[in-house]
Amino acid sequence: MAGPQAGTDKATYNATCGYLDHGRPIFPALFITDITDLSNSTAGDWQQGGISPFPPNAVYGTWKGAVRTVDQTQTPAQITVTPDSDPAQNFWSFIPDVPPNGFGSNQGFGAELVWNADSLGLVAGHTYRLQLMLHDGDQNQSGGDAGEGCVQVVTSTLQ
């Protein structure tokens, strides 16, 4: 993901985290690696150069948007990411699938992200590593903050 309309933040190389700027998404993104033949592969993760993130098919609850501005009148182009104001707290009200037993802490901003498995191009009988990345939207500095989580999924044979 690159270019002025990429929907990415200003992440740069970071010696501590060891990643290169591959255009870290501002939107909730799912990166996929087929690990059927190499169970420890992270090749499709963003930090390893994963280039095809899947945005969610649906978002429920409160979500904070951001605007990425690219000033191409300067060399190099100047990129600014400006998060919107915090949305209203919803305390997980009116969200289709509230997590069982809630969370250890609740700051009042609940959201559910939904990916339609049929839209991911997964092959029956394969095993995948799914990496979810979320940008927290509270910084406008180099890199900002992002969280991630990974899970392995085994697809079954289609009927």
Taking 50 as the threshold, does the pLDDT of residue 19 lie above it?
no
- Each domain of the chain, given as residue ranges in start order, spans 29-154
Taking 60 as the threshold, does the pLDDT of residue 109 lie above it?
yes
Q: What is the pLDDT of residues 45-97, one digit of tens each?
A: 988 878 788 999 998 887 888 787 888 898 877 777 788 888 888 888 878 87
For a pLDDT cut of 90, what percent of the chain falls above it? 28
- Cα–Cα distance, 151 to 63 (Å, whole number): 23
The total number of residues written for the chain in this structure: 159
Using the 8-state DSSP alphabet, how is residue 104 labeled? S
**pLDDT tier at 17, thresholds 50, 70, 90:** very low
- Average the pLDDT over 99-121 and give the result: 80
Asked if residues 127 and 35 have their Cβ atoms less than 8 Å apart, the reply is yes
The two three-digit tokens of residue 82, written as one number: 């400006």
pLDDT value at residue 104:
64
Residue 15: alpha-carbon gap to chain centroid: 21
